[in-house]
Amino acid sequence: MQKRQTRQKSLVSKCFTEDECFTADDIMSRTSLPKATVYRLLKQMVTDQSIHSFVCQGKTVYSNTTENHSTFTCLSCDVTTHIKPNIKMDIDHKVQTININITGTCLDCQNKTR
């Protein structure tokens, strides 16, 4: 059974054609839709697998891409950058996505302490 495309769902769906990742707050500010409506639609879209969600810096982020999501956060300057680590896994499981949060000291902060 086809689910109908409401005006609200159309507004939320349009966000994912413009950019890659959004929080629910981002979508609320772009669409002016009520919080409950945004969360209901996002939950439905994740269930339907038209988008997926992951946690980044303690916030749930929604994306239309299933690319792996990894970040590096510098413990000295607190700057977070998105990275694409080269990971080879020797497992028999089918992996859908990988989310990695790495902490350490960035090159700029390392150079400042030398």
List per-residue pLDDT tens for the chain, 114 residues long: 456 778 898 888 888 776 577 889 989 998 989 999 999 999 999 898 888 888 877 888 888 876 777 888 899 998 888 787 777 778 888 877 777 888 999 999 999 877
Q: Give the model's pLDDT for residue 19.
A: 57
Hey, which CATH number is domain 7-63, 2.160.20.10, 1.10.10.10, 3.90.1150.10, 3.40.50.150?
Answer: 1.10.10.10
Determine the pLDDT at residue 17: 76
The dihedrals phi and psi of 112, each to the nearest 5 degrees, come to -70, -30
Question: For the chain, what are the domain ranges?
Answer: 7-63, 69-112
How far, in Å, CA of 95 to CA of 35, rounded?
A: 32
Q: Say if residues 103 and 78 touch (Cβ distance below 8 Å).
A: no
The pLDDT value given to residue 37 = 94
Q: Where are the alpha helices (DSSP H) in 1-114?
A: 7-18, 24-31, 35-47, 107-112
